[in-house]
């Protein structure tokens, strides 16, 4: 199997899943960040613990968001390049270039 006859639909579907995952993480981050309090609590240990937990959760969401964004960008670029190559080869075969 060569690149010219490769069906890109499954690869595009995987890219869509990864891209939607990035959007879901973005929405999740916004939802978690709404509970973030930027005030400094010195006396209320419960508030401090809650803010530490929220900060940790946001760091994890950010980490996975960055990883999935890079994967989506690189994977999408690769699928796009293969599509462009296939189109170019097809145009070369038909003589419409």
DSSP string, 46-65: HHHHHHHHHHHHHHHHHHHH
Q: What is the pLDDT of residue 11?
A: 96
Return the structure tokens found at 79. Answer: 């699928």
Contacts 24+ apart (CB under 8 A), 54-62: 57/32, 58/29, 58/32, 58/33, 61/25, 61/28, 61/29, 61/32, 62/29
**pLDDT single digits (tens) 4-58:** 778 999 999 999 999 999 999 999 999 999 987 776 666 677 777 888 899 999 9
pLDDT band at 72 (very low <50, low <70, confident <90, very high): very high
Name the band, by pLDDT with cuts 50, 70 and 90, for residue 97.
low
């Amino acid at each position: 199997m060569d690149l010219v006859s490769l069906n890109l639909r499954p690869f595009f579907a995987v890219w869509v899943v990864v891209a939607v995952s990035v959007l879901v993480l973005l929405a999740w981050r916004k939802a978690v960040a709404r509970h973030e309090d930027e005030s400094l609590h010195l006396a209320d240990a419960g508030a401090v613990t809650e803010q530490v937990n929220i900060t940790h959760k946001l760091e994890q969401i950010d980490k996975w968001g960055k990883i999935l964004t890079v994967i989506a960008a690189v994977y999408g670029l690769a699928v796009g390049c293969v599509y462009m190559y296939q189109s170019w080869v097809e145009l070369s075969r038909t003589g419409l270039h």
